[in-house]
């Protein structure tokens, strides 16, 4: 049965954040709210957690996992960014975007797209996620919580708890969260390609 952590959306309680992060450090799988719906997250090196996410979402090996980053400095350690891309991403973060970029050697090989050697990275605005990332002090391996057959992400904590009670280790609930997944921009080919239109305005990258 998943632990249920009720967290204030603006001023997250340190105790609850610490409990959620300790669970991640202990190898657990977390369902947590973001500015673009719920996500599933685990520690970067947690292979079992990654496989659990793939089973819940019924994902293929070619799925781009997202590394949820606290800030641009953390993001820059994980992906290769030239000056033009740097300016474009800097202007759009934090926000509801996921960027696909060539990964650095800091990223475990098993997290990369098998053919492109790329990874998705994101800097969220949500205060609860920022609190989790600050306490964890490293990126969170994540994937938007879109169940098989559904078009959009799950958005209510109690529904997540009800649906995935035996498949995740904890559910963080901070009330209303975003209802659209992120807009995905692929920079791996040099110029931006809008892969998915979501909550973030795609116009700056079109």
Q: Give the domain ranges of the chain.
A: 3-205
pLDDT of residue 116: 81
pLDDT of residue 63: 82
Residue 132: φ, ψ to 5°: -60, -45
Model pTM score: 0.93
d(CA 58, CA 56): 6
pLDDT, averaged per 10 consecutive residues of the chain (206 residues), comes to 95 97 98 94 95 95 88 91 90 93 87 82 94 96 94 93 97 90 91 93 92
pLDDT of residue 132: 98
Structure tokens at 62: 């070619």
Structure tokens at 115: 């053919």
pLDDT of residue 160: 97
For 6-57, give the DSSP string.
E--SSS--HHHHHHHHHHHHTT--EEEEEBTEEEEEEETT-HHHHHHHHHHH
Residue 138: DSSP 8-state: S
Question: Does domain 3-205 correspond to CATH entry 3.20.20.70?
Answer: no
For 51-74, give the DSSP string.
HHHHHHHT--TT---EEE-SSHHH
pLDDT of residue 179: 87
């Amino acid at each position: 049965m998943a632990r249920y952590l009720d967290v204030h959306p603006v001023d997250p309680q340190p105790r609850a954040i610490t409990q959620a992060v300790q669970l991640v450090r202990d190898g657990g799988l977390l369902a947590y709210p973001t500015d673009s719906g719920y996500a599933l997250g685990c520690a970067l090196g947690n292979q079992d957690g990654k496989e659990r996410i793939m089973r819940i979402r019924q994902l293929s090996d070619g799925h781009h996992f997202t590394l949820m980053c606290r800030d641009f400095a953390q993001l820059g350690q994980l992906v290769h960014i030239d000056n033009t891309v740097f300016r474009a991403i800097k202007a759009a973060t934090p926000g509801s975007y996921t960027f696909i970029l060539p990964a650095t050697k800091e990223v475990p090989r098993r997290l990369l797209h098998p053919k492109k050697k790329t990874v998705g990275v994101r800097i969220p605005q949500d205060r609860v996620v920022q609190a989790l990332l600050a306490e964890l002090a490293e990126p969170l391996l994540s994937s938007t919580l879109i169940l098989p057959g559904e078009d959009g992400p799950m958005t209510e904590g109690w529904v997540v708890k009800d649906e995935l009670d035996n498949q995740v280790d904890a559910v963080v609930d901070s009330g209303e969260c975003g209802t659209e997944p992120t807009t995905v921009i692929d920079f791996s080919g040099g110029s931006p390609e809008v892969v998915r239109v979501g909550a973030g305005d795609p116009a700056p990258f079109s």
